[in-house]
Amino acid sequence: MQSRVERKRITKAPEQRRGDLLDAAIRVFTDKGIQGATIADITTTAGVAKGTFYLYFDSKDQLVAALKARMVDDILAHASGLYEKVGREDWWALVDTFAESYVDFMLGHRDMCQIMAQEGISPEADPAFADCYARINQMLVTSLRAGTADGVFATTDPELTAKLLHHAIDGTLVNAILYDPKPDVDRGRLVAGIRELLHKTLAA
């Protein structure tokens, strides 16, 4: 008597399946670029039928928009989590946490950074990212003002200092992700350098 092994169909919740398609798109876009990738490439990588794609997205452009929206949500959630600690924790401990978590966040989203660079997705070119960066800058400005009021920081122009620090750190991390010739970005060096920059810039 032979036993028959039946293959069970894996049923996933709609949001999980949608997430699988987004994750697959990141892998495909990293390899082929947005313009060079096809919907078939994405569904094959996700391990679903091509028709499944259209249950969640009307087009590749709509999927790209969803990827950008998810990235913006991730950025704001990360920034808000740090901002909630302002005034509740030691200022310099929070500065060090900011440096380390910023590096880890960017390295954790290196594929999206590469895709954004390939396709020219930036705050200047996309309203959603422009609004995201503006909100983060405002968090930084408010934090610098509070630290200065407490006598810990010395910032005569919190608005400009926030922009300079934000763009310097973000630009350095994106550059490392895109152009560092080593197989792996030197996380420790980046964290140490950003901490030093913040301490020397903000110290009263």
Polymer length in residues for the chain: 204
The DSSP code for 121 is -
Give the model confidence (pLDDT) of 72-108 as tens digits: 999 999 999 999 999 999 999 999 999 999 999 999 9
Q: How far apart are alpha carbons 129 and 82 in whole angstroms?
A: 19
How many Cα atoms are found within 13 Å in the side-chain-facing hemisphere of 150? 17
Q: How far apart are alpha carbons 164 and 149 in whole angstroms?
A: 20
Q: Out of 3.20.20.70, 3.40.50.10420, 3.40.50.300, 1.10.10.60, select the CATH number for domain 12-57.
A: 1.10.10.60
Q: Picking from 5-14, 34-43, 47-56, which range would have the lowest pLDDT averaged per residue?
A: 5-14
- Do the domains at 12-57 and 59-202 have one common CATH topology? no
Architecture of domain 59-202: Orthogonal Bundle (1.10)
**Coil vs helix vs strand at 153:** strand
- Of 3 and 88, the one with more pLDDT: 88
* Structure tokens that stand for 14 in this block: 């709609």
Q: How confident is the model at residue 11 (pLDDT cuts 50, 70, 90)?
A: low
Mean pLDDT of 108-114: 93
pLDDT for position 120: 74
pLDDT for position 119: 74
pTM to 2 decimals? Answer: 0.86
Using the predicted structure, report yes or no on whether residue 39 has a pLDDT greater than 80: yes
Mean pLDDT of 168-190: 89
Q: How confident is the model at residue 13 (pLDDT cuts 50, 70, 90)?
A: confident
Q: How confident is the model at residue 36 (pLDDT cuts 50, 70, 90)?
A: very high
The average confidence (pLDDT) of the chain is 91
All structural domains of the chain with their residue ranges: 12-57, 59-202
CA angle 162, 167, 168 (to 5 degrees): 100
**Coil vs helix vs strand at 133:** helix
The CB density around residue 1, as the number of other CB atoms within 10 Å, is 2
% of the chain at pLDDT higher than 70: 91
